[in-house]
Amino acid sequence: MFFDTLQSHLAVCAQPELPNWLRHDPDFWHVISIREPYRPLPDLRLCKRHVSLLFEDREELDEDGRGMLVQPRHLRQVFEFVDASPGAPVLVHCWAGLSRSTAVAAALLVRGLRRAEHPSSEWAATAIEQLLSIRPRARPNLAVLRTGLEHFLPAPQARAVAEEIVNDNRLLLNRFHRH
C-alpha cells in the first residue's frame, strides 16, 4: 500500500509468504529481512535490494549487545536502509509477519507522520490504522517498536507512543487470538 507520509509503498509479510510477494513483483521490493539465526535464509534474489537482521522475537532489550535480542543498531540499519533509497517500496518480513516486522513497519509509519508534521497526538492512532490496513493480524513487539522510535524521539515520548500503539484494543486482541 502506498502511504503519502512515507512517499512509498510499505508491506509486511511472513517469511513463508515472501516468495509469492517477490515473484509477483520481481525487482520491485526493498526487503527488510528479520530472522532468528536458526531459521533458514530466505531466497531474496527477486528483490531489488535487502538488509538482513538477526534478533529473536522477545520483548526484552539487549543492553549489552551479546544476546540475540533487539539492539539499537538493528533499527539504525533499518532507517539507513530506507533512507538510502528514498521513496523505494519497502517490504518487511519476519518469520510470522506479526510481531517484529509489524513493529518495524509501525516505527517507519510514525517516523513518516512526524516528518510530515502530523500532530504528535495523532501519531499512534494514525499509525495503528495504517498498520492494520497492511497487516490486519499485526501485534507489534514493544521492544522493537520502542527501540525504533528512540532513534528519532526522546526516550519518554518513544516509550509513550510505543505503549499507546501496542496497547490498542485491536492489537491486543491480535496478541491473544490465534489466527
Quote the number of domains for the chain.
1
List residues bridging with 70 in a β-sheet.
Answer: 61
- The grid coordinates of residue 132 equal 492494520
- 13 lies in which domain range? 2-176
Separation between Cα atoms, residue 73 and residue 51, nearest integer Å:
13
Q: Residue 156 sits in a domain of what CATH number?
A: 3.90.190.10
pLDDT for 64: 59
Question: What are the pLDDT tens digits along the chain (179 aa)?
Answer: 888 888 899 999 999 999 999 999 999 999 999 999 888 889 999 999 999 999 989 876 656 555 678 999 999 999 999 999 999 999 999 999 999 999 999 999 999 999 999 999 999 999 999 999 999 999 999 999 999 999 999 999 999 999 999 999 999 999 887 65
Separation between Cα atoms, residue 56 and residue 179, nearest integer Å:
21
